[in-house]
Amino acid sequence: MAIEGFEIPIHKSLTEQILIGGVPRSIALVNGTLVAALGLGLHSFLAFPVGILIHLLALAATRTDPDFFSCFRRHIKQKNLYTA
C-alpha cells in the first residue's frame, strides 16, 4: 500500500556490495596482491593457478550468499561462550 507523495526510489547500487569479478572488493584485492607478491616476487608461476582457484571458491561463496564474507568475519571475531 503506497501513500501518494511518500515514495522514494532507491537505486539498486545503493544496497548492493561493490564486486570485482563477482567477488567482494576487499577479497579480490587481497587475493590479487597475494598472487602478485608470490608470482612476481618469488618468480613462482604456481601462484597464478592457486590465485584463480581461490577466486573461484570466493565466487562460489558470493553467489550462494552475497554477505558470506562479512558474516564469516563477524563469526571469527565472536568469542566462544559455550565452551566446557
What pLDDT tens digit does each residue of the chain (84 aa) get?
667 878 888 888 888 888 999 999 999 999 999 999 999 999 988 999 999 999 999 999 999 998 999 999 999 998 887 766
Number of domains, the chain:
1
Residue 36 structural domain: 21-76
State pTM to two decimals.
0.76
Residue 56 falls inside a structural domain: yes
Q: Among residues 80, 60, 62, 82, which one has the least CA distance to residue 71?
A: 62
Does a structural domain hold residue 9? no
* Residue 6 falls inside a structural domain: no
63 belongs to a structural domain: yes
| CA dihedral angle for residue 8, residue 22, residue 67, residue 62, rounded to 10 degrees | 140
In a domain, 16, yes or no: no
40 within domain boundaries:
yes
